[in-house]
Amino acid sequence: METNKKWKHFDFGPLKSNVSKEKLSNVSPKKNSPELHKANTKVLNKKSCSTYKIPTFDFHENLTPKSISELAVHPKKIQEVVDWIEKYVHSPEQNLKKSPFLVISGPTGSGKTVTLNIICKSMGISVSEWVNPIDQDYEIKGQNQISQFMEFLGDSKWNSLFDSYVKKITLVKDFPNAVIHRPEQFFDVLEECSYKTDSPIVFICTDSNSNSINLVRMLFPDEIMAKYSIAHISFNACASSLMKNAIKRAMELIKDRKDCFKQPSASTIEAILASSMGDIRNTMNQFYLASLKEAGEIPTIQSLKESKGSKRKKVDKNSKLKGMSKDESLGLFHGLGRVLCPKREQVGASWRLSHNVGKLVDEFAIQPSMFVSFLFENYLKYFGDLKDACHASEILSICTGLLDRWTGDQEALIPALWTAVLGLMVFNDHKVSRWNQIRGPVKFNKSC
């Protein structure tokens, strides 16, 4: 009987720490996951024997900033958000005509949501967030997702009876799936909201490299932004200095909890910082992984070694760390370099461009005309032959013609960008490669 009972009551340990572990295994790279699972099961086994003292310290909850000063976001951006909230939430009388919408955009892990939450908390405003209903819900009710969404936004003017706060902000981060396929529906919703409610609505969109899921561009094109006078605050990736401060704070946090954490070595932290790419969430997860005490013995040794190895090779880029972080995105200068100094591969009697042009174009698809202006400003220095330059300038002239004509339609701009990029890469037969300073496009205002 005793043994039977043991089989039936399987102890999963305290829920919280388990959840955070699961989260971790989700974000941790595939390489580490087998080890981590091993560690997990090991811990679980220990727990089920209940001889091991269970650490109940929730790292992530403790780490989440509690005040504005703790945020790893540039103070100016915070101020922008505060200003907006003050303008629309605290003194809405002057802005009655305009429905207060705000779009916050930025790369993943730049602290968009946390910033909003903390500012609201500090100003005594409650935040109610839209969460997509699961499929079953609306199949049974027979109400479609969009109308639920609409209802939610419409209801947002009423305060919750159980809330002590007087002011309220509605947050939409989880856009209903339907609007991604048909943005017009979203515009309708906005239209309705703009006269139905006067409570402020904040939309949070994550930037994305790929075109097809770029929410900011799809759901908030220029004419919509203008029509409803939507404010837009764009967050940048977390700066490395702020990241360092955040790690320092995390170190302070785990200092007192010697029972479940150890201090990771300086080299590990450096490796984490190097591979962070401005994503604070990812960085903190890496840090957590590296500082876990019981995980330190088996699974993280592997990753520690890896990061150490990469650190030594850091001179020739830390490409080893790539497995641990998100996909690389090309900077502007990098992209310009690829286009202006194209590398070629000999294939038989012919040649091919060695970089993937499609990906390159996709990188800069958000601002084609800006990228083309940069190309124009700098291409001459990389050309060694007048005939090539003549072809190239012809290509650029065609390309701006296309860009100027279809300014409104983003999709139509992509072929123009293709023309410019591919044209410059193909026609550069007599490439001059020497060090050149990249210059920004000349801006001039007509003086008369």
Partner 1 sequence: MSVLWADKYRPKELSALDYHKEQATNLKDLTKEGDFPHLLVYGPLGAGKKTRIMCLLRELYGPGVERLKMETMSFTTPSNKKLEITTVSSIYHIEVNPSDVGIYDRVVVMDLIKHVAQTQQLNVNAQREFKVIVLTDVDDLTKEAQHALRRTMEKYISNCRIILCATTISRVIPAIRSRCLCIRVPAPTEDTIINILQSVCKKEDVNLPMTFAKKIVEVSDRNLRRALLICEACKVEKYPFEEGQKVPEPDWQIFIRKTADKILQSPSIESLSQVRQNFYELLINGIPSEIIFKTLLEGLLTKCDTGMKIKVVEEAAKYEHRMAQGNKAIFHLEAFAAKFMYLYESMLLGGFDEDM
What residues line the site for partner 1 (CB under 8 A)? 222, 225-226, 229-232, 373, 376, 380-381, 383-387, 389-390, 392-394, 396-398, 400-401, 403-405, 407-408, 442, 444-448
- Closest separation in Å from C-beta 386 to partner 1: 5
Angle at 231 between CA 226 and CA 236, to 5 degrees: 125
Q: In what order do the strands lie in the sheet with 101-106?
A: 125-130, 167-172, 201-206, 101-106, 231-234
Q: Identify which of residues 151 and 394 has a Cβ nearer to partner 1 in the complex.
A: 394
Nearest to 171 by CA among 89, 284, 83: 89
Neighbours of 204 (CB within 10 A): 21
Q: Please, what is the minimum distance in Å from the beta carbon of residue 431 to partner 1?
A: 12
| 225, 128, 284, 290 alpha-carbon torsion, rounded to 10° | -150
What is the Cα gyration radius of the chain? 26
Q: Quick one: 139 or 404, whose CB is closer to partner 1?
A: 404
What minimum distance in Å lies between the beta carbon of 84 and partner 1?
10
Minimum Å gap between C-beta 230 and partner 1 is 7
Residues 342, 428 contacting (CB under 8 angstroms): yes
Q: How far is the CB of 401 from partner 1 (least distance, A)?
A: 5
Give the shortest CB-423-to-partner 1 separation in angstroms.
12
Query: What b-and-e string marks burial along 4-34, b requiring 16 or more CB atoms within 10 Å of the CB?
Result: eeeeeeeeebeeebeebbeebeeebeeebee
| Closest distance to partner 1 from the beta carbon of 367 (Å) | 13
Q: Which is nearer to partner 1, 59 or 228 (CB)?
A: 228
- Does residue 102 contact residue 228 with C-beta atoms inside 8 Å? no
For partner 1, the closer of residues 156 and 373 by Cβ is 373
Residues sharing a CB contact under 8 Å with residue 76, sequence separation 6 or more, in sequence order? none
Q: Which residue number, 232 or 311, has a Cβ lying nearer to partner 1?
A: 232
Nearer to partner 1, 260 or 399 (CB): 399
Q: How far is the CB of 443 from partner 1 (least distance, A)?
A: 9
The C-alpha atoms of residue 18 and residue 29 are separated, in whole angstroms, by: 18
Residue 129 or 377 having the CB closest to partner 1: 377
Of 380 and 438, CB closest to partner 1: 380
In whole angstroms, the minimum distance from the beta carbon of 245 to partner 1 comes to: 29
Query: Which residue is listed with tokens 């139905």?
Result: 196
Minimum CB distance to partner 1, residue 432 (Å): 9
Nearer to partner 1, 347 or 386 (CB): 386
Q: Which is nearer to partner 1, 114 or 421 (CB)?
A: 421
